[in-house]
Amino acid sequence: MSQPAKLRLATVWLAGCSGCHMSFLDLDEWLIELAPRIEMVFSPIASDTKTYPEAVDVALVEGGVGNSDNLALIRQVRQRTRLLVSFGDCAITANVPGLRNPLAGPAAVLDRSYLDLADGSAQWPHAPGLVPELLERVLPVHELVPVDLFLPGCPPPAGRIRAVLEALLQGERPLMEGPEMIRFG
Amino acid sequence: MSVRTLRIDGRDVASADGATVLEAAGDAGVAIPTLCHLEGLSPVAACRLCLVEIEGSPRLQPACITPVSEGMVVHTATPRLREIRRTVIELLFTEGNHVCAVCVANGHCELQDRAVEVGMDHSRLPYRFPDRPVDLSHQRFGLDHNRCILCSRCVRVCDEVEGAHVWDVAWRGEHCRIIAGLDQPWGAVDACTDCGKCVMVCPTGALFHKGDSEGEKHEDPSRLAALLRARRARQEAP
């Protein structure tokens, strides 16, 4: 009997604190059960691949879209992924990175961070092609590319992540209902 | 007391004349979601979450202010109403800055609870990210306009229960907001008795105790109902 094909899984880190990825690691021993059932093809915590690969089955995308690198990556992720999951509140609502949105654009934020509050040698981190430019606003992922599944929480509890992955591994769509599965915050 | 008979979601219901559809539904065990409504305060239909369909009426009616009438046929949970309720919650989330992760009411928030109830796992409407201030001029309390959903519970409890009438709703459209006194900093309003009832009944983290941090606010609107019942009992005692 042939082994079922492994799920090609990616996790992506945009404008977020990596808390959703930490919550993923909170799956603890279940990660050992998960490991043989997936092929981890791209992840900041589980692979050293720098280029997002082709033909990814599922991508968990943490964070809002806050700079030019995030924007380029999320477009690539969408193109090369069958099922894109908005992973956590920042991806779904812009959440904490989005706190800068009501302010007067990226220049005001950079001024405050790198000039007003600098101890010395105050300067903007400006290096074209090296430091990505901030977008005017941090946006939720689904305002830029289509999203297939929303996995809320700040961070989503490990049990919620497991429930989603278990369903996807069975080839099913998880039922996102009730406080266990869809509470923000 | 005359009685009116009506049908709510296929159930025959008898209700006192003058009762609202929301009260009649509650008596019949039919739960209609609400946000601005609070037992003991006058109903105002500010949030529109309790909209129901009434046969023969082309328009949806807010259950909290619609009186029952004889032979009325009410539907409270049709697919159309469920869709509208989810959209109402999405509108509330997107027109303000409801960052649950850093909210004093996270986990104890009626807006958050309603979002779960209506099945909102994301908003289909774009977020506005408005620039709104926070008023920390009061000695004990704070007002974060980012989290205010303009339910006006604070306005009503201060006027109808405390009798101080510190709060009002000012301006219109996207500029609409709660004001203290004559649009003064809250701390500068002498009429405020520092009673905290407004904080107690706020459904979100908009009104809070200073010093509360993420997840620490525990509003308890039922305490207000208990207070009102106790007052009424005392007034009615011989």
Task: For residue B34, give both structure tokens.
Answer: 């609400």
Q: Who among A94, A147, A177 is closest to B127 (CB)?
A: A94
Cβ-proximal residues to B62 (8 Å cutoff; 6+ apart), any chain: B45, B48, B50, B51, B52
Q: Who among B112, B126, B130 is closest to A184 (CB)?
A: B112
Of A11-15, B2-6, B20-24, B217-221, give the lowest mean pLDDT range: B217-221
Three-class DSSP category at B214: coil
- Amino acid letter, residue A163: A
Cβ-proximal residues to B171 (8 Å cutoff; 6+ apart), any chain: B177
CB contact under 8 A, A102 and B129: yes
Side by side, the strands of the sheet bearing A38-42 are: A38-42, A7-13, A56-62, A81-87, A149-151
Longest dimension (CA), chain A: 67
pLDDT tens-place string over residues B123-176: 999 999 999 999 999 999 999 999 999 999 999 999 999 999 999 999 999 999
pLDDT tens-place string over residues A125-157: 888 888 999 999 999 999 999 999 999 999 999
Task: For residue B51, give both structure tokens.
Answer: 């909209």
Closest CA to B121 of A70, A181, A116: A181
The end-to-end CA distance of chain B, in Å, is: 23
Q: How far is B214 from chain A (nearest CA, A)?
A: 10
CB contact under 8 A, B132 and A102: yes
User: Whole-angstrom Cα distance, residue A127 to residue B234?
Assistant: 73
Determine contact: B174 vs chain A, CB below 8 A: no
CB contact under 8 A, A89 and B97: no
pLDDT tens-place string over residues B75-117: 999 999 999 999 999 999 999 999 999 999 999 999 999 999 9
Mean pLDDT of A65-89: 98
Question: What percent of chain A clears pLDDT 90, i.e. is strictly above it?
Answer: 91
Helix axes B110-117, B79-95, angle to 10 degrees: 140
pLDDT tens-place string over residues A31-56: 999 999 999 999 999 999 999 999 99
Average pLDDT of the residues of chain A: 95
Q: How confident is the model at residue A28 (pLDDT cuts 50, 70, 90)?
A: very high
Q: How many helices (H) and strands (E) does chain B have?
A: 6, 10
Q: Who among A139, A143, A182 is closest to B121 (CB)?
A: A182
CB contact under 8 A, B116 and A92: no
Query: Residue A1: what pLDDT?
Result: 55
Count of Cβ atoms closer than 10 Å to residue A132 Cβ = 17
Determine contact: B127 vs chain A, CB below 8 A: yes
Q: Answer yes or no: are the C-beta atoms of A68 and A132 closer than 8 Å.
A: yes
CB contact under 8 A, B122 and A140: yes
Q: Is the pTM of this model over 0.90?
A: yes
Of A163-177, B85-99, B206-220, give the lowest mean pLDDT range: B206-220
Three-class DSSP category at A143: helix
Residues of A in contact with B217 (CB under 8 A): none
Residues of B in contact with A94 (CB under 8 A): 127, 129
Q: Answer yes or no: are the C-beta atoms of B135 and B180 closer than 8 Å.
A: yes
The residue in chain B having the minimum alpha-carbon distance to the alpha carbon of residue A156 is B101
CB contact under 8 A, B101 and A101: no
Residues, chain A: 185
Mean pLDDT of B5-25: 96
Residues, chain B: 238
Q: What is the complex's ipTM, to 2 decimals?
A: 0.93
User: Whole-angstrom Cα distance, residue B122 to residue A31?
Assistant: 27
Query: Residue A3: what pLDDT?
Result: 63
CB contact under 8 A, A177 and B119: yes
